Amino acid sequence: GFSKNTVTEDYQLTREKLGTGINGSVVKVIHRQTGAEGALKIIIKESRNSELEVKLHAYASQCENVVRILDVYENIYRQRPCYLLIMECMPGGELFDRIQNTTQTKITERDAADIMRQIGNAVMFLHRRNIAHRDLKPENLLYSERNFQSLLKLTDFGFAKEVTQKGLETPCFTPYYAAPEVLNEKQRYDMSCDVWSMGVIMYVLLCGYPPFYSDHGFSISPGMKKRIRQGEYTFPDKEWKNISLTAKDLIKRMLTVDVNKRIDIYEFMNSPWVANVREVPSTPLFTSANMMEDPDCYRETQREMESALQTMRVDNKVK
Ligand SMILES: O=C(Nc1cc(-c2cc3c([nH]2)[C@]2(CCCNC2)CNC3=O)ccn1)c1cccc(C(F)(F)F)c1
């Protein structure tokens, strides 16, 4: 339920900006009663999907790999009706900031498997309830603590949607576990975009650069779009010769261009690389070195993932 009083009565806003999302900016807040840190996201009501973002993120909060929503306020902020989401503060920061900064301890293939298992857990929670996230990218994956044991959690439901008309419409949120065959192609397409994005994140995690490059620093080039559509990418030997075949095989099945042939989240979670993380070799990876070496190349990666996501979403509209 929404708190009726104003957010500033319960929380003190700080100047510390934690980033900006699709539908709004995020600042650190302090709960007046307890002194606990939180993250406030201001969502202007008239921005597209604002209601759905709040509803779906609040609903998904019960999953341990989704950033928890502690409070929701409906206030007028800067003369505009807004939703104010108070989330648990994630001081571990974003996934790739952490990877870039661990120069001393290189991440291993097993670390990557554990990271992908946590992302998969969040995506499986959503897909079982016919919710597609549609904005899966490293900057929307945050660590709950600063130490390595901390949980990785998904945030930003600004593009999330229910792929079935019924789904969460029912008042008491009865989950609607439609069998995949019940979903039409378009509905399956939305969810399979999440699996494709996970494939790109897994690829970058294992080597430190993206599978699809744009030409000469354009954010998205026709050449890159073609390579995405044709599924043209390689596993350059330098980084990939010591990486297990199971990992490469899994990436191939997630980056399969044909939506009907691409694996779904259940096949991903049941694959040996994810189901038995402890059996994955702890081979050290080149990831942090490659990301550190050329930081703006990582910004490049972010831009490319962003535009690939947009392309997928636009394509989906067309379908
Ligand atoms: O990002 C931090 N805490 C955080 C952040 C969020 C958060 C929500 C959203 C985002 N962050 C982004 C920011 C831009 C990139 N995409 C994600 C846009 N959309 C969101 O919905 C939620 C909860 N805790 C953080 C990082 C380092 C230190 C600390 C602090 F010291 F404050 F604890 C917090």
Confirm whether the ipTM is greater than 0.95. Answer: yes
**Quick check: CB of 37 below 6 Å from ligand 1?**
yes
Q: What is the pLDDT of residues 73-107, one digit of tens each?
A: 999 988 999 999 999 999 999 998 888 776 566 89
Q: Which helix (H) or strand (E) holds 128?
A: helix 109-128
Model confidence pLDDT, tens digit, residues 242-269: 999 999 999 999 999 888 899 999 999 9
Identify the CA nearest to 46 among candidates 18, 20, 69, 24: 24
Q: How far apart are CA 131 and CA 63, in angstroms?
A: 13
Distance between CA atoms of 58 and 130, rounded to whole angstroms?
Answer: 15
- DSSP one-letter code for 154: E
* Cβ of 98 less than 6 Å from ligand 1: no
What residue owns the CA closest to ligand 1's atom 17?
A: 140
Establish whether 135 is a catalytic residue. Answer: yes
In this prediction the pTM is 0.91
18 ligand 1 Cβ < 6 A: yes
pLDDT category at 190 given cuts 50, 70, 90 is: confident
Residue 173: is its pLDDT beyond 50? no
Catalytic residue among 135, 156, 190, 194: 135
